Structures are given as C-alpha cells and as structure tokens.
Structure 1
Amino acid sequence: MKHFFNIFCLILLCGKIAYAQEKPQFPSYTIELTYKKLKKDYPFITPITPLVSDKIKYKENIVYKKTNTSKLKLDVYAPKEKGKKTYPAVLLIHGGGWLVGSKENERVMAQHLALNGYIGVSVAYRLGFEAPYPAGVNDLKDAIVWLRKHARKYNINPDKIAVLGASAGAQLAGLLAVTPNSSLYEPDSKISDAVQAYVNIDGVVSFIHPEAAAESKSGKVSMADIWLNGSKEENWKNWKEASPLEYVNEHTPPTLFINSAQPRFHAGRDDMLTILNNHGIYNETHTIPETPHSFWLMHPWFETTLSYTVNFLNKVLKDEK
C-alpha cells in the first residue's frame, strides 16, 4: 500500500511540474532590454536615462493602494517652485502586455513633464499574473482618485488631470478616459475618476476590431488571453468590455495619438478619430516614420514623443496664468 501511495504522490508531483512548465513565460520589459533588442536594427539609438535636475522635486514609491497581494506605489515629479501655484497632473501608465513592465519605464517622461510645468506621476498597477482584468483598471482609477484626494499636498489642479499610456498602458489609459465614474469599475462615490485629456502612445483602443486580430494568435496563448481571463472566443465579454472604442462619445476628452510605423498597434484608432471628429472633440495624430514599437524609450524618438505630448497638453490642459 505504501508503494502505491508513493507512486500516486509522484504522479501528482509530476502533474504539478508539467502544469508549471506549461505556464507561458514572457520576457521582462525594461528600457535596457528594449535597447538590446532594438539596437541591431537601429544602431543609432541610445536608451533614455533618468533626469538629474535641480528644477524638479520628487517623491518616489508612495503607497496609494493596498490589496490582498501587494502594495501599489506611484512616483510624483513636480516643478521645483515656491508658492502655492497648482499644476495640471499627468498619470503615466507603463506598457508590457498587461503582464510585465514597471512604473520605472515611465520615470523619464514624468520627469521631463515636470520640467515643462506638469506634475508627472508614474504609477504601478496589478499585472495579469497577479490579478486579471479588471483589477488593473480599478487600481488606476483609484490612482486618479488618490491624486484628487492629495491635490493640495502636491500642488495638483484637481480639475486638470490627464492620462498618458504607452503600449498596453495606452489601452488602459484609454479605458480611464472613456469610462469616467463607470459602474463597471467600482467608482468612488465621492471623488471623480474622470480625466481631462488622453495621450495614447502606440496602443490599441480595441481588442475586437478587425485590425486587432493579431492580438490573439491561433494556437498560442497571448498576453491579452491571460489578462482578459480567456481567449476572445472563450471570454468575448471581457474582450469587448476592455475595449475603449466601445465607449467613445461626446464626453470623451481631447485625445492625442503618437504612433510607430507598426500598424498592428493602431487597432481601432481611425474609428475612434471618426467619432471624436463627429463630436467636435479636439484630437491630434502623429506617426513617427520608420520606428519600431517602444520607440518612446529610445533617443532620438523620445524627444519627438515629448514634444508632441507637451504641445498637446499645453493646448488642452495648461493652467491659465
């Protein structure tokens, strides 16, 4: 009997090992690894690095939310000026396919926004392996509420908050922009999670648009499959619900698209632009020629991305003097 028990335990152990081995593995998404990946085809590039300047002040790794599995943090970068002047805030959301990446990928952009008269806030959220959709969306909405709750402390104008996202972060930022105070995402009953501007850096705005077909590769588990808790066929509800394009209307805030030369990351964009134009909502679209995805993490494309972003925010969000 003991012999059969040992065999049974071995079978169970082997099954667990096999299951663990079947779990999809995805590479880390960092500035350094992105540079190593891209430099072969783009030998002229250099990776962006954190800014050192006596014109900005910062406070990093502030816990804005506690969950059962983690303490979620954000970093605040602000113009270093005396007085009680307030500034528009920009919540920056990193990419990484909803499963990898970190807020540090958006640190440099946040710092440069601070140099240009904004409060740049790079934020962490629960990734898909920790908690699938809609956990990350709820986290980011809570981050907006946190900004408004702490607006006085950090000199934030609570009426002028933008979201900026890159890649998967752009899709997440899009959901924040088009679902203000929505019952889908556990809204705070007292403080609004609405935003006043949206910057999309090379991210899809629909998972179910024909242009987004490549997001779910036949025969393979995609990052979207994991984050949305099933393939498009298995969990259509989540795939549609998590698509910002489904909610675009006359209340959508001014929108900026900055795109690479890779069409698959533009899914749903043109349809969204049509709706925005039909409602007279200010928007801009810029495609940077001959660029790969993740261009915003590399010089010389970072400078172009920053310029488009600041010019747009100055038009739609800048505090009056």
Structure 2
Amino acid sequence: MNKKIKIISLTLLLTATFALPLSGCSQKTTAATTATSSSTDQTSIAPTYKDVVFASVNNDNGDKKDLKMNIFKPQVKTEATPVLVYIHGGGWAMSDYQGDDAPKDSNAPKAPAQNQAGQPTGQMSGDNTSSYKIFKSILNNGIAFVSIDYRLNSEAAFPAQIYDVKGAIRYIRAHAKEYGLDPDKIAVCGTSAGAHLAAELATTGDIKELEGDEGGNLDYSSKVMACVDFYGPTDLLTMSNEMDPLLQSHVDAVATHDSTDSNESKLLGFTQKGQGIGVLREIRDKNETNSPYWDKVKLAELASPVNNVTSDDPPMFIAHGGHDTLVPIQQSLRLRDALIKAGIENIFMSNSKAPHGYQGEDVNKAALTWVTNKLLAK
C-alpha cells in the first residue's frame, strides 16, 4: 500500500511540475492551465493597493493596532484574478506584511542568520532570494499576490494570530470586486511561523472558536482552496523531542523549544516562572486534567494543525529541508501522514540538504506550479 501511495504521489508531482511552465520558460501553456505570464518579471513591482487596513485590533496590553495588507495585481490583467495570500515568517516574533517591499533603512541592523536557534525569518539561507520574493513571483503567472499582517507573539497570545489571518481572508473575499480579485479562488502560503498559520488556517475552516471577528465581514467564509506550507511547525508540543540529535543536541533543542523564552511558549502566553512548552507536554503526557494549566495544553493542541486535519480540508503542498535545525522535518512528515489518512490530496517534497530556509529551485518551481494549477483550474 505504501509503495502504491509513493507511486501515485510521484506521478502527481511530475504532472504538477511540468504541466505549467513558469516565467522564462519557452514552452506553451496547456489547455487545462491558461496562465498568461508577462514577459517582464513582476517581482519588483510596487503594490497596486498599499497599506490596506483590513482590521483594527487590540493587543493584549490594550494598545490598538491596524492590521494591513499589500495587494499586488498582475500587470495587463483587467479581469478578476485568483489570489495567493502570503503569511510572513519570523517565529511569530518579527517581520511584517511588507517583506522585501518595506522601505529600506541603510542604518537598520541586518536580520539574524537563517537557522539561528529560536529566530526563524523569511530570508532563505544559501541564496539572496527571500521567500517573500519567491512567492511574489506568482504574479508572473497571472495571479494576484497579497501579503498580510498579524499580531506578533509579543503583542498578543494565540489565538489572536489565526483570528487576524482569517479576518484578512474574509476581507479579501468581501472586497474582491473592489480590488479586481476572484473571491472563489484564494490560496494561502507561508514559511516557518507563517506556514504554521497557513496550515492552521487550512485545517480549521470549520472550527468556530478559531474564527474570531477581527475586521468583521462575518457573512464571508475564511476557507481557502489550497495551501503551501514551507517547513512550518505543525505540533507545538513536540518540537524539541522530534529534532534529530545529529542536527541539534537535545539540550539545545529543549532550550530552543521548551523554555519560557521559546517562541512557542510566547505564542501561547506561557512564559512565567515554572511554565514553558516543556511543562505543558509533561502535563499532556501524564493526562493531568486537573492541572491549572490544562486549558493551556488544550490551547497548544488546538494551535497545532496536525490535530485539526479533517476530510474537507483543502489540498496542500508541503516542503521541508532535511537539514532543518529549527523546525524538525518530522513536523511536516506527521502533517503529511494525517492528510493521507484523511484522504486529503497532498504533495511532500524534501531537499535533503536544505536548511530552515532556501529549499532550492526545484522545490520552489514545483510549489509555484502546483498552486498556480490549483488557482487556475476551472
């Protein structure tokens, strides 16, 4: 049975990889995929609609924050276009919706290196191309690119982040006509923490307690038709235990993921003395339902996409590098297995040498082609 699944997956992957040429390829598009790529690379164009406020929210300390998005329409496209929504990474702790289009400050300190413990960023190591720019190149395939904001873990605890993301999807759908977008063709993508939120969005379309009312538009759905997950966490409680000791010592993995200083602990608002993800995992493993922290255990489980997979979830493309020393590859393998068990179409790709960052051109092209085909399918 496993052999059969592998053969089917390989067939789907090869079909997806070669069905639609990306910008710069000389082949003609097939009848099934009608993308009209511009002859000019559009990854450097300015937003068509800049700094669009889709929700005004409160941080946990009471401060107000406007959540924004940048909307990029492909050039020479006048009809309503499908949409790829990008969710930035940064350990839920840094970066924002502007990505590479943020104003440049020559005096600003450089971002920390990719794969540094506890600080995943959107920058792809081993290459000067960021994940933002890679996914923005979807514009070359006639698809709109929208980069969205969300509250960081220093501003609000989960589920604020997924509330914000779903509010953005509802806003896009509610205002699709205004911006020339197709409300029925919305896919989501992200890397690292952004991929976690993308997968969480894709797997919780029917969970009301994770919908929120940020930005309103509650008559509109927050569901998406496809998801691209690049090395995102899928189970917040198991990151340290699943790290390959050949890539990172268990002591270092515990310090990165289980302590009160870990980004996962900060995401859950569990950072006081005697707290941390490691405490929650121990409570969960011992089934201590009477613990005063049991509600945090259940929140961590709810915040983990691998626990939310159901048979009506959208198809997913998952990529994870074999040399990732920040998010264990096992996180993506378990999500893949859950999708297979639920009967959800999925493709998993792994560059055995890739770190927590740049996955290689083969993976990038395959992912973009796959999501383009999903969005342009009739």
**TM-score strictly above 0.5:** yes
Picking from 167, 171, 188, the partner of 1:163 is: 188
Q: 1:62 aligns with which of 34, 52, 61?
A: 52
Q: Which residue of 2 aligns with 1:313?
A: 371
1:115 lines up with 2:140 in the alignment: yes
In structure 1, what is the Cα distance between the partners aligned to 2:167 and 2:319?
26
Change (3 A) 1:218 1:135: closer
Report the counterpart of residue 103 of structure 1 in structure 2: 97
Structure 2 counterparts to residues 4-19 of structure 1, below 5 A: none
Deviation at 1:237, TM superposition (A): 2.2
- The runs of 4+ residues in structure 1 deviating greater than 6 Å are none
Structure 1 residue 220: Cα displacement: 5.2
Aligned to 2:348: 285
Deviations, residues 227-258 of structure 1 (Å, cap 9, x unaligned): 11112225312211100111101111100011
In structure 1, the residue matched to 2:5 is: none
Range 175-184 or range 263-272, more displaced = 263-272
1:237 to 292, 298, 302: 298
**Corresponding position of 2:44:** 52
Offset of residue 218 of structure 1 = 5.0
Which residue pairs with 2:336 in the alignment? 273
Tell me the equivalent position of 2:68: 73
- Asked if structure 2 preserves the Cα contact closer than 8 Å seen for 1:167 and 1:265, the reply is no
Displacement after TM superposition at 1:111 (Å): 3.0
1:258 aligns with 2:319: yes
Other structure's SS at 2:139 match: helix
Answer whether contact 1:203 1:266 (CA < 8 A) is retained. no
Report the 3-state secondary structure (helix = DSSP H, G, I; strand = E; otherwise coil) of the residue aligned with 1:152.
helix
TM-aligned CA deviation for residue 309 of structure 1: 2.0
Q: Aligned match of 2:220 in 188, 191, 196?
A: 191
Which residue in the other structure is 2:112 paired with? none
Which string of whole-angstrom CA distances, capped at 9 and with x for unpartnered residues, describes residues 243-276 of structure 1? 0111101111100011122353434322322232
TM-score, normalized by length of structure 2? 0.64
Letter in 1 for 2:375: L
Q: Is the 8 A contact 2:260 2:266 kept in 1?
A: no
Any gaps of 5 or more consecutive residues in structure 2? 1-41, 59-63, 100-130, 244-249, 271-275, 281-292
Taking structure 1 as the reference length, the TM-score comes to 0.75
Among candidates 243, 247, 262, match of residue 308 of structure 2: 247
C-alpha distance in 1 between matches for 2:95 and 2:362? 22
- Relative to structure 1, the CA distance from residue 217 to residue 67 in structure 2 (aligned partners, 3 Å threshold; closer, same or farther) is closer
Q: 1:127 to 1:315 in 2, by over 3 A?
A: same
* SS of residue paired to 1:153: helix
**AA at the equivalent of 1:114:** L
Q: CA deviation at 1:286?
A: 1.2
Distance 2:203 2:260 in 1: 30
Whether the 8 Å contact between 2:189 and 2:229 is mirrored in structure 1 is yes
8 A contact 2:135–2:368 mirrored in 1 = no
- The answer as to whether partners of 1:151 and 1:158 remain within 8 angstroms in 2 is yes
Query: After superposition, what is the alpha-carbon deviation per residue over 1:71-97, rounded to whole angstroms, capped at 9, x for unaligned?
Result: 1111111112253x2222111001111
Q: Count the aligned residue pairs.
A: 264
Residue 94 (str. 1) matches residue 94 (str. 2): no
The answer to whether the Cα contact below 8 Å between 1:199 and 1:257 also exists between their aligned partners in 2 is yes
Matched residues in 2 for 1:82 and 1:95: separation?
29
Deviation at 1:305, TM superposition (A): 4.5
For 1:13, the equivalent position in structure 2 comes to none
| Contact 1:181–1:192 (CA under 8 A) maintained in structure 2 | no
| Larger strand percent | 1
In structure 2, how many angstroms separate the alpha carbons of the residues matched to 1:265 and 1:168?
Answer: 13
Give 1:104 deviation, angstroms: 2.9
Structure 1 counterpart of 2:107: none
Bigger Rg, structure 1 or 2? 1
Q: In structure 2, what is the equivalent of residue 144 of structure 1?
A: 169
- CA distance 1:276–1:110, change in 2 (3 Å): closer
Distance 2:318 2:171 in 1: 26
Deviation at 1:310, TM superposition (A): 1.8
CA gap 1:309/1:218 in 2 versus in 1, 3 angstroms: closer
CA RMSD of aligned residues (A): 2.5
Say if 2:265 is the partner of 1:225.
yes
Report if the CA contact (8 A) 1:196-1:253 is conserved.
yes
Q: Per-residue deviation at 1:136?
A: 1.2
Supply the distance in 1 between the matched residues of 2:161 and 2:304 (Cα, whole angstroms): 14
Equivalent position SS for 1:191: coil
The residue aligned with 1:16 is none
Gaps (5+ residues) in structure 1? 1-49
Q: Return the offset for 1:52.
A: 3.1
Q: 1:265 to 1:60 in 2, by over 3 A?
A: farther
Q: Is the 8 A contact 2:306 2:338 kept in 1?
A: no
The DSSP-based 3-state class of the residue aligned with 1:103 is coil
> Is this contact kept in 2: 1:65–1:142, CA < 8 A?
yes
